[in-house]
């Protein structure tokens, strides 16, 4: 492999704050936040809105996550009363 052209491949923590679910994996994503993991080491942190811990397909429960009023905007636009 050529040196200097590939991104850094490192351990990163992805955390879903809606259900407090986190997992450690390797990624090339860039982030400025860090978190202390269960093993005592500090890793870069990526915040998620939806993960397998909160997605209805994986949980079997319908859960409405409204970020920035999208549901209300949709209802106003397409309200058929």
Q: What is the pLDDT of residue 11?
A: 96
Q: Is the Cβ–Cβ distance between 47 and 15 less than 8 Å?
A: yes
Segment 52-59 shows an average pLDDT of 63
Q: Is the Cβ–Cβ distance between 27 and 9 less than 8 Å?
A: yes
Q: What is the pLDDT of residue 66?
A: 57
Phi/psi of residue 34, nearest 5 degrees = -130, 160
- For residue 79, the Cα-to-chain-centroid distance in whole angstroms is 31
The residue ranges of every structural domain in the chain are 10-78
Q: What is the spatial distance between Cα 38 and Cα 13, in angstroms, rounded to a whole number?
A: 11
Q: Is the Cβ–Cβ distance between 32 and 19 less than 8 Å?
A: no
Q: What is the pLDDT of residue 64?
A: 60
Q: 13-31 pLDDT, tens per residue? A: 999 888 888 999 999 999 9
């Amino acid at each position: 492999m050529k040196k200097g052209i590939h991104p850094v491949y490192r351990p990163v923590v992805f955390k879903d704050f809606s259900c407090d679910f986190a997992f450690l994996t390797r990624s090339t994503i860039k982030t400025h936040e860090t978190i202390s993991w269960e093993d005592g080491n500090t890793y870069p942190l990526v915040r998620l809105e939806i993960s397998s811990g909160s997605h209805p397909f994986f949980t079997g429960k319908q859960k409405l996550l409204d970020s920035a009023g999208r549901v209300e905007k949709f209802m106003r636009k397409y309200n058929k009363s």
